[in-house]
């Protein structure tokens, strides 16, 4: 079955630390890749997306993600986190030509200590 | 419109009751999706509409779940004879076309079945 795996369910960092959240998927076809973020009390928002082209994608608020096709990975990174980055982060995949439904990972809860 | 809206935001139902959850997508958005998010999990796809046509209902967990979008805008997700395992957050998302477009999520309806 198609699936998306996020490596860590909870991450705690101090402000200014670097962040990397892992995401792997198990599809063999062409994929569209997304990271969504849910801040406390808010709804899911798109952080960044990859459809094609440059595998290094830059999103909002200083986040970036790198698509590595050979590793079926789309890891999220930020060089220096802020307290306001405290949120839950979801990796999601959709299959090109198979409808537009998103398949989500279980999410990673990030807590940044000030 | 300002964004995707959902109502009610919270719903408590007794086991066996029928419930109806409403989604107002962003004005003009062709595609509409329903997802179910259980506690501690990522959203899981339920069903997808393109205008008024329900093109994919493969994620609906049982025949107690029914969704409609009769005029191609507002959608209703109905759950008949609710069970405790139906307790979850139900998310609606819309996108502007049927192609590779970003899905914009609503705030969700939190359903608790007692």
Q: Which of B42, B98, B108 has the CB atom closest to A43's CB atom?
A: B108
**Of A84, A112, A81, A101, nearest to A4 (Cα)?**
A101
* Distance (Å) from the alpha carbon of B77 to chain A's nearest alpha carbon: 17
Residue A86 C-alpha, separation from nearest chain B C-alpha, in angstroms? 16
**Do A73 and A24 form a contact (C-beta atoms < 8 A)?**
yes
Residues A1-44: tens digit of each pLDDT: 679 999 889 999 999 999 999 999 998 788 899 999 999 989 99
List the single residue in A51, A90, A105 with the smallest CB-CB distance to B100: A51
Domain range enclosing B46: 5-107
Q: Are B77 and B24 in contact (CB under 8 A)?
A: no
> Residue A112's pLDDT is what?
97
Gap between the Cα atoms of B60 and B85, Å rounded: 13
| Fold category of A4-113 in CATH | Immunoglobulin-like (2.60.40)
Pick out chain B residues at pLDDT < 70.
1, 98-100
Name the residue facing B55 among A92, A99, A104 (closest C-beta): A99
Q: Given CB atoms, is B53 within the 8 Å cutoff of chain A?
A: no
- Residue in B92, B98, B83, B97 with CA at minimum distance from that of residue B47: B92
The answer, for B92 touching chain A at a CB cutoff of 8 Å, is no
Q: What is the pLDDT of residues A56-114, one digit of tens each?
A: 999 999 999 999 999 999 999 999 999 999 999 999 998 766 667 899 999 999 999 98
Q: Please report, in angstroms and rounded to a whole number, the separation of the first and last CA atoms in chain B.
A: 35
Domain containing residue B71: CATH number: 2.60.40.10
Q: Which residue of A43, A53, A60, A95 to mutate against B (max B Cβ within 10 Å)?
A: A43
Amino acid A10: pLDDT: 96
Indicate the domain borders of chain A: 4-113
The answer to the question of residue B70 being in a domain is yes
Q: How far is A49 from chain B (nearest CA, A)?
A: 8
Residue B114 lies in a domain: no
- A104/B42 touch (CB, cutoff 8 Å), yes or no: yes
Q: Indicate whether B52 belongs to any domain.
A: yes
- pLDDT for residue B99: 62
**Residue B53 counted as domain residue:** yes
Q: Give the number of domains in chain B.
A: 1
């Amino acid at each position: 079955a198609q699936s998306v795996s996020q490596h860590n369910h909870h991450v705690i960092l101090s402000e200014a630390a670097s962040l990397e959240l892992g995401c792997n998927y198990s599809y063999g076809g062409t994929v569209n890749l997304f990271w969504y973020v849910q801040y406390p009390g808010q709804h899911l928002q798109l952080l960044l997306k990859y459809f094609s082209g440059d595998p290094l994608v830059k999103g909002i608020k200083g986040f970036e993600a790198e698509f590595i096709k050979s590793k079926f990975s789309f890891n999220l990174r930020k060089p220096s986190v802020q307290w306001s980055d405290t949120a839950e982060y979801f990796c999601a995949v959709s299959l090109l030509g198979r409808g537009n439904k998103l398949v989500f990972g279980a999410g990673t809860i990030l807590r940044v200590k000030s | 419109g300002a964004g995707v809206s959902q109502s009610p935001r919270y719903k408590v139902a007794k086991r066996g009751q029928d419930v109806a959850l409403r989604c107002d997508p962003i004005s003009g958005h062709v595609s509409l999706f329903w997802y179910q998010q259980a506690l501690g999990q990522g959203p899981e796809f339920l069903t997808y509409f393109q205008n008024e046509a329900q093109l994919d209902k493969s994620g609906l967990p049982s025949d107690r779940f029914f969704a409609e979008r009769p005029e191609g805008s507002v959608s209703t997700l109905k759950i008949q004879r609710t069970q405790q395992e139906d307790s979850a957050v139900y998310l609606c998302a819309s996108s502007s076309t049927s192609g590779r477009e970003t899905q914009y999520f609503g705030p969700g309806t939190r359903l608790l079945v007692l």
